[in-house]
Amino acid sequence: MKINAFTWWMAGALLLQGPVGCSRQEIRVYDVPKETAVASAALPEGWQQLAADEMRIGNYSVTGTNGAKAQVTVISLPGAAGGELENVNRWRKQVGLQPITADDLGKESREIQIAGAPARFFELSGVAPETKARTRLLAALQNQGDSTWFFKMMGDDGLVGEQKEAFLGFCMRYQYPGDRRQEIGDRSQETEDRAAAAGEALQEPAPRRTWKAPAGWQEQQPGPMQDGKFLVSGGKATVSISVLQGAAGGELANVNRWRTQQLGLPAVDEAGLAPLLTPLDLADTKANLVDMTGPKERMVAAIVPRGSQTWFFKMLGEEGAVGAEKVAFVEFVKSAK
């Protein structure tokens, strides 16, 4: 699709909320890729794919059980697209927050992974000036080639908070259009030839994953970004399995996500991470076990690097129930292959 400078003038106005003149600008033509890599079947549960338009490569709606609404968009713009600070302050304005300076920018963000590469993630909450409603905004940006890609979820404060893990998972598994690692749809012979010429092996379809659940565990329908799920101790705890590509952010990032988002514990640094990890030797690899207890719940988790993937096993629930099932949980992790 070809878009001339006038369309990008409109895009710039929407993005930066600032005056942009075009009367003396040279006419340029840009190619805007259409999203083909993330099909509706790959979306988190409850997300509905909407039609893309000139600005939105990806466009999705999310509805909560109480009718709450949120929207997810994926946008690609050439160059720095105004820069990180300007975009963050634009997002802050949308949720009724005051602008920040460059010195404060680092405190507002953390690193996540999008398509296997580092990206910046922001979470903002406030009262939207237009609707006067409590609103939450999740946003991630990443430089990709000569463009900046923006991933954004905005809507009802409670709903967006509930959808945070699904949004992060969506970003983590996102595949850019034309990425040779894309597994959705049929690979063309031309793509295979290019990969072979570059000496890069295309990923083969993942083999069937198996595990042996202990007696009494009740298998459930997996949720978003999960490959397996069980209720244990009569529903007092839940076990989930997620298999992700690459390091999936690394041990420190995942442990801190569990601590801050699920257990209500403070984040730790690398020095604080080491005492939390217990080595776990498996038949085909070496893993780490984590056991953490928050004010309300306890979690035992296993982080298992396996080839080009990382397998995450988590048991979360009442402290006594998790403690009683810990030995069975470790045997479950050892049975998986």
Q: What is the pLDDT of residues 133-183, one digit of tens each?
A: 999 999 999 988 778 899 999 999 999 999 999 999 888 888 876 554 443
pLDDT, residue 2, reads 42
C-alpha distances out from residue 284 to 10, 220, 233, Å: 55, 27, 29
pLDDT 10s digits, 223-272: 656 788 999 988 899 999 988 878 777 899 889 888 988 898 999 999 99
Q: Give me the helix-helix angle, 5-16 and 84-94, nearest 10°.
A: 60
**Residue for token pair 């604080």:** 272
* Cross-strand pairs, 77: 148
3-state DSSP assignment of residue 332: helix
pLDDT tens series, the chain, 337 aa: 444 433 443 444 444 444 333 433 343 344 444 444 444 346 888 899 888 766 788 889 999 888 899 999 999 887 877 788 989 999 999 999 999 998 888 888 888 888 878 889 999 999 999 889 999 999 999 988 778 899 999 999 999 999 999 999 888 888 876 554 443 333 334 433 443 444 433 333 444 578 899 999 999 877 656 788 999 988 899 999 988 878 777 899 889 888 988 898 999 999 999 999 999 999 889 999 999 999 999 999 999 998 888 999 999 999 999 999 999 999 999 998 8
Q: In which order are the strands placed within the sheet that holds 69-78?
A: 47-49, 58-63, 69-78, 147-156, 134-144, 117-127, 109-114
Domains detected in the chain: 2-173 (2.60.120.1690), 218-335 (3.40.1000.10)
**Residue for token pair 């690394």:** 250
CA angle, residues 146, 149, 153, in degrees to nearest 5 = 175
Distance between terminal CA atoms of the chain? 45
HSE-CB for 106 with a 13 A CA cutoff: 1
